[in-house]
Amino acid sequence: NAGVTQTPKFQVLKTGQSMTLQCAQDMNHEYMSWYRQDPGMGLRLIHYSVGAGITDQGEVPNGYNVSRSTTEDFPLRLLSAAPSQTSVYFCASSLGQGHQPQHFGDGTRLSIL
Amino acid sequence: GQQVMQIPQYQHVQEGEDFTTYCNSSTTLSNIQWYKQRPGGHPVFLIQLVKSGEVKKQKRLTFQFGEAKKNSSLHITATQTTDVGTYFCAGPQSGGYQKVTFGTGTKLQVIP
């Protein structure tokens, strides 16, 4: 049972480049979310989705886009990478919305030079 | 917006000592969830509390949800080296389940 799968695990980008972080879950969860984790700041919500075709902004959405065309996939796009986006990114999913436990992927460690 | 703070930020304890982390939200929470993140790993769900004043235990871990549903605590009795990691509380704002806010986390180091 794969759970939540994130790719890539590591990535180095140059300022201004764009890229997509992939997230897929095989648990038929409706709710999916993206967080970034920076030292001393916990996990901050970037975007979330309550189902296919429905997305909304979290706490720190600027510089990131998302889409949810299927229940399984929830990619996160960096349009023009900036050094401030250097972070560890986690994707999570849950059966329901915020009242259900979230299952996290292993994370993507992203460095912007 | 909703803010969730945890104290302390760091804690070093000798193996066998007790440990407590406190979680305080600026708004009322619908529920509180606790997660553990081992070094280099991802957050893993531990438990969820829903009712005002609720107390739950998992072996050496005791979780409490405040009467006003704005604070919570996690207490570990007789810490072991396997308890090392960062503990996060998290919860959706009362009245809405969609946005979950995580606390700032408490990093626990256990000295053998």
The pair phi, psi for residue B83, each rounded to 5°, is -85, -5
- pLDDT-derived band of residue A98, with 50, 70 and 90 as boundaries? low
Which distant-in-sequence residues (6+ apart) come within 8 Å of B75 by Cβ?
Answer: B18, B19, B20, B61, B62, B63, B64
Q: What is the mean pLDDT of chain A?
A: 94
Q: Residue B1 pLDDT > 80, yes or no? A: no
Q: pLDDT, tens digit, for every residue of A18-32?
A: 999 999 999 999 999
DSSP B83: G
For A84, the 3-state DSSP assignment is: helix
Q: pLDDT, tens digit, for every residue of B8-56?
A: 999 999 999 999 999 999 988 889 999 999 999 999 999 999 999 999 9
The pair phi, psi for residue B2, each rounded to 5°, is -65, 135
Please give the distance of CA B23 from its chain centroid, rounded to a whole number: 6
Flag whether residue A36 sits within 8 Å of chain B, measured between CB atoms.
Answer: no
A-chain residue closest to B34, CA distance: A101
B-chain residue closest to A108, CA distance: B42
Does the beta-carbon distance from A98 to B102 stay under 8 Å?
no
Please give the distance of CA A19 from its chain centroid, rounded to a whole number: 12
- pLDDT-derived band of residue A42, with 50, 70 and 90 as boundaries? confident
Preferred mutation among A89, A91, A102, A103 to probe B, highest tally of B CBs within 10 A: A102
Question: CA of B41, closest CA in chain A: separation in Å?
Answer: 7
Q: How many CB atoms lie within 10 A of CB A101?
A: 17
- How far is it, in rounded angstroms, from Cα A96 to Cα B19? 32
Flag whether residue B43 sits within 8 Å of chain A, measured between CB atoms.
Answer: yes
Question: CA of B14, closest CA in chain A: separation in Å?
Answer: 23
- pLDDT-derived band of residue B96, with 50, 70 and 90 as boundaries? low
Backbone conformation region of residue B83, classed left if phi is above 0, alpha if psi is from -120 to 50, else beta: alpha
Q: Residue B94 pLDDT > 80, yes or no? A: no
